[in-house]
A = this chain, B = another copy of it.
Amino acid sequence: MSGETPAYHHGDLPTALRAATAELIAERGPTGFSLREVARRAGVSHAAPAHHFGDSRGLLTSVATEGFVQLNIAFAEAVEGLTDPVERLNACGKAYVSTAVNYPGHFGVMCADEIINNDEPEFVEASVGAYLHLLGIMADIRDALNPELDIEAAATMTWSAVHGLATLAPGLDSVAEKTDTKTAPLHDLIDQFTGMMISGFAAR
């Protein structure tokens, strides 16, 4: 009555399972994921998840999709009110890394093609949507700064840069400790990063 879903025995088991999965992966990484442990944390039997997601790949795919949906929301919020494409690119770069850091469990499976069904329609829609958002910004940058810009190459490089940063971010402090060096704040790195990318895209 109150919600959209009929609220059967559990209430909203799919959501609870996704949350437990993200929590578990955030703790132990994708290899530490266990379907039975997730079921345990959600308070149901070990075979319950299968009725909603088929197998473990289905559940992980659902979590990855949720992550991309969240990324799209973060992108939309980040560019709100910004008209300058350069500012929008910078804002999206920060939104990407922020999402990765704030949702480590989701981020851990979003680009893990070996363990998810990356041809599932909902996943394709969400992930392609995020890429197209970036591509759109690149097109605006091309129109504003450099008509000869290869926007697809530029988008790939930008995605790689922020993705690499988001991936290595958790281990940066550890490296700094071992090499007796220091790490710049993540926020500053992204500013420098996007600044350099923009200069590179503009000057051609």
Which residues of A are in contact with B by a Cβ distance under 8 Å?
28-33, 111-115, 118, 124, 128, 131-132, 135, 150, 152-153, 156-157, 159-165, 167-168, 170-172, 174-176, 178-179, 181-184, 188-189, 192-193, 195-197, 199-201, 203
List 10 tightest A-B contacts by C-beta distance, closest first.
Answer: A164-B164, A196-B200, A29-B114, A160-B164, A163-B164, A160-B165, A153-B184, A161-B161, A152-B181, A31-B115
Q: Are A153 and B189 in contact (CB under 8 A)?
A: yes
A167 / chain B contacts, CB cutoff of 8 Å: 111, 160, 163-164, 167
**A115 nearest in chain B by CB position:** B31
A30 / chain B contacts, CB cutoff of 8 Å: 30-31
Main secondary structure of the interface of A (DSSP, over half): helix
Complex CA distance for A181 and B152, rounded to whole angstroms = 7
A188 / chain B contacts, CB cutoff of 8 Å: 153
